[in-house]
Amino acid sequence: MPTALLDTSIYPSTVTHDATATRRVAQRGNRLVMWIEEAPVRRRLRGKTQEESDAIYRSLDQMAEMARDGALVPYDSDETIFESLYLHLPALRGSQFDVFRGVKRRIAQGPLRRTYMIEGCFSEEQARFSKEQHNRDREQFLENINHPRFLKMKKRTGGSHLADLYLVWTAEENSLDYFITLDTTFLNAVTLPKPLDTAVKLCTPMQFVQQCS
């Protein structure tokens, strides 16, 4: 069965609906009654049309079913787990509208050990500062990697997309079959004009489903 490392971009994209609050007003005898009613509405992913979003949801749902049936082993990595702490995740994540609800994922260890620091944030300003500090620390860590394999990958992209390249390297080091991402800019950078030299297959969820169906 195929094994796949899931990019951080997958985390906020598995939830098909948002909860919206609507104010309702009705006459009840001599009284005017007002209440707030919550209802789920279909989510449209950032930068995508509703049709494109629905296609992504369908492919992720198929991936989730494959994982539940034992036809796919999905992986997170230490890097993607830590990165997800700074994402604005949908309110209904983990609910019935989350296609990956209940899907077990294994952990792939990064090629290099590094320290992660998690701080408690008590205000929006502190949270923003913590996220900015995390981004600076990650950039410095990636820029300072001198391993020959990573330097070769870095040369291939002209020094860009280091975070994604590190995840591809993680997939290689853990002998995984796929790296699945929604970042088409990165995929274009490592497939055009010729594919990145790696045994790991790089694709979107839709491409993965097409290849494995």
pLDDT tens, residue by residue, 167-194: 999 999 999 999 999 999 999 999 988 8
Q: Answer whether residue 22 is part of any domain.
A: no
The answer to whether residue 82 scores a pLDDT higher than 90 is no
- Domain holding 153, by residue range, is 3-17+45-212
Q: Looking at residue 66, what is its pLDDT?
A: 96
Mean pLDDT for the stretch of residues 60-76: 97
Give residue 171's identity as a one-letter amino acid code.
A
Q: Could you tell me which residues come within 8 angstroms of residue 161 by beta carbon, excluding any fewer than 6 positions away?
A: 185, 186, 189, 190
Residues 6+ apart with CB under 8 A from 2: 71, 72, 73, 177, 178, 212
Q: What is the pLDDT of residue 122?
A: 55
107 versus 87: the higher-pLDDT residue is 107
Share of the chain above pLDDT 70, in %: 93
pLDDT at 87: 83
The pLDDT of residue 213 is 74
Residue 27 lies in a domain: no
Predicted local confidence at residue 25, as pLDDT: 76
Has residue 39 got a pLDDT over 90?
A: no
Q: Regarding beta strands 3-6 and 178-180, do their DSSP bridges make them parallel or antiparallel, or are they unpaired?
A: parallel
* pLDDT at res. 26: 78
Q: Would you tell me the crossing angle of helices 162-173 and 148-156 to the nearest 10 degrees? A: 130
pLDDT of 76 over the 90 cut: yes
Q: What is residue 175's predicted lDDT score, i.e. its pLDDT?
A: 97
pLDDT confidence of residue 103? 95
In a domain, 112, yes or no: yes
Total domain count, the chain: 1
Per-residue pLDDT, averaged over 67-82, amounts to 95
Residue 164: partners with Cβ closer than 8 Å, 6 or more residues away: 7, 181, 183, 186
Give domain status of residue 32, yes or no.
no
pLDDT tens digits for range 108-157:
999 998 876 666 655 566 666 677 777 888 899 999 999 999 999 999 99
* 43-56 per-position pLDDT tens digit: 999 999 999 999 99
Q: Is there a domain that residue 26 lies in?
A: no
Residue 201 placed within a domain: yes
What per-residue confidence (pLDDT) applies to 28?
79
Quote the pTM value: 0.87
On whether residue 34 sits in a domain, the answer given is no
